[in-house]
Amino acid sequence: MDPSEQRIKIAVQKTGRLTDHSIDLLERCGLKMTKSKDQLICYGENMPIDLLLVRDDDIPGLVSEDVCDLGIVGLNMVEEKRLNREADGQPAQCKRVFQLDFGHCRLSLAGPEDTPYDGPKSLENTRIATSYVGLLNQYLKSNNITAEAVYFSGAVEIAPKLGRAEYICDLVSTGSTLKANGLVEKEVLLESEAVVIQTQKPLGEEKQALVDKILQRLDGVLQVRESKYIMLHAPKSALAQIRDLLPGSEAPTVLALDGSDDKVAVHAVCRENVFWETLENLKAAGASSLLVLPVEKMLA
């Protein structure tokens, strides 16, 4: 077998909103790779994993066509390409295997702020500019609305001003682009974030074991981002109350304190951020010597 066939290929966005997060995440999973800005492929130096740097639009296709084993891409793109393939009579050949914690946005319908809007029926017989024709048509169909999807590859938000459409359907995160163009969000069609997708094709034992290892490490990386290790001293009488105040922690470790009969040391991993208010509440409950440490790695 060609040795390159044994390596895992992961499709990642070359330049854009997902790029830095995707590469940072893989590096946190322990992957070291050769990097150069204009490269199409980054070769993993310490694991048999290579990254293909491509446009995000191409990622679902590359994974569906088995050119890549995994891909990191927005759910919006995965769903749109699935619907496009379906419309062409091709089955979707990739599956979603992991949800990430970045790339949050929503696919929304928006219209001019001075246009009265009375629910989806206001869209009847209008033109809607979008790059997401598949998802828009699916929405229109499920709401029994006849409207025309006008394809725009970018700068969708200027379509109403150009007189090309009455509404737009585009990705929104803060809403500032819509506002700057005098548009108001009317409906949310899809909540999206970055996900890991995998080819449907069986990978073979070795490759699948490596994919499972990466997914497990990803899980660990995502968990430690918010996690903190907290240590404190507590009077035995306040233990139950202090335990309740520890945010998102499972059973804490309770240790005897040398030379003290009424106080114990409590150590816990909190899977949520620990805010000043929490520490103040713990102190008010009787805790002392409070220490909060970041967590470097975690393996469930």
Binding site residues, Zn ion, CB under 5 A: 56-57
**E-state strands within 182-259:** 183-192, 194-199, 228-235, 253-256
Residue nearer to ligand ATP on the CB measure, 104 or 161: 104
**By CB under 6 A, what part of segment 27-66 binds ligand ATP?**
55-57
The one-letter amino acid at 276 = W
Give the strand pairing for 41-43 and 70-74.
unpaired
**By CB under 6 A, what part of segment 69-128 binds ligand ATP?**
74, 76-77, 103, 105
Stretch that binds ligand ATP, among 13-21, 83-91, 115-123, 183-191 (CB under 6 A): 13-21
Binding mask 216-255 for ligand ATP (x = CB under 6 A): ----------------------------------------
Q: Which two tokens stand for residue 147?
A: 């409207």
CA distance 147 to 1: 52
The CA–CA distances, whole Å, from 153 to 9, 12, 16, 104, 261 equal 28, 20, 16, 21, 70
Nearest to 166 by CA among 178, 148, 181, 179: 148
Binding mask 157-176 for ligand ATP (x = CB under 6 A): --------------x-x---
Stretch that binds ligand ATP, among 10-18, 89-97, 200-208, 271-279 (CB under 6 A): 10-18
**Residue 297, binding choice from Zn ion, ligand ATP, none, Cβ under 5 to 8 Å by partner class:** none
Compute the CA torsion angle 64, 66, 68, 71 (nearest 10 deg): 20
Residue nearer to ligand ATP on the CB measure, 68 or 285: 68
Residue 31 φ/ψ, nearest 5 degrees: -80, 125
CB of 79 to ligand ATP, least distance (A): 10
Residue nearer to ligand ATP on the CB measure, 187 or 227: 187
Residue nearer to ligand ATP on the CB measure, 82 or 233: 82
CB of 4 to ligand ATP, least distance (A): 25
Nearest to 51 by CA among 74, 64, 68, 75: 68
